[in-house]
């Protein structure tokens, strides 16, 4: 019986941290999204965006249109009209990093004239467990 209680306690300890993030994971995602929106002018041209990301030490990767079409990487929904930059911004919060996602990804799609055409910012979504017969839900990794 003691082993069962210890096992339940261990499972509870492993599963409970994401219940107490108090929205920190979502705030980190929204901070990256707001940063991209606020710095849209600096990201408007491909060469300026590459310099901008390098100066801020944000890990990024440049893909030509041909590379995008040939590789069809799982994280790219669709290739743009020209080249793209794929940046990953690490998540600071350890609980968010372990239980939700380790990075916020930013896709910057450019036209063939190197002007910003489309921006996509992604992070794995948090999970919610609705409590039956109530209007509340428990959020995991929010």
In the chain, domain spans: 2-140
The pLDDT value given to residue 16 = 62
Torsion (CA) 51, 54, 60, 66 in degrees, nearest 10:
30
Residue 50 tokens read as 């590459």
pTM: 0.77
The pLDDT value given to residue 34 = 95
6: Cβ contacts below 8 Å, ≥ 6 apart:
none
**How do the pLDDT tens digits run along the chain, 142 residues long?**
888 887 777 776 666 656 667 788 889 999 999 999 999 999 999 999 999 999 989 999 998 888 888 877 777 778 878 999 999 999 998 888 887 888 999 999 999 899 999 999 998 776 766 778 888 776 666 6
The pLDDT value given to residue 6 = 79
Question: In whole angstroms, what is the distance from residue 41 CA to residue 36 CA?
Answer: 9
């Amino acid at each position: 019986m003691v082993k069962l209680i210890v096992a339940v306690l261990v499972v509870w300890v492993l599963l409970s941290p994401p219940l107490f993030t108090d929205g920190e994971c979502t705030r980190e995602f929204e901070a990256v999204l707001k940063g991209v929106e606020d710095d849209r002018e600096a990201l408007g041209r491909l060469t300026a965006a590459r310099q901008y990301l390098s100066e801020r030490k944000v890990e990024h990767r440049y893909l030509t249109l041909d590379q995008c079409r040939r590789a069809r990487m799982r994280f790219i929904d669709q290739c743009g009209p020209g080249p793209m930059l794929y940046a990953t911004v690490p998540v600071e919060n350890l609980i968010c990093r372990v239980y939700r996602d380790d990075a916020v990804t930013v896709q910057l799609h450019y036209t063939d004239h190197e002007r910003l055409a489309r921006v996509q910012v992604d992070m794995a979504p948090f999970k919610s467990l609705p409590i039956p017969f109530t209007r509340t839900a428990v959020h995991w990794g929010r």
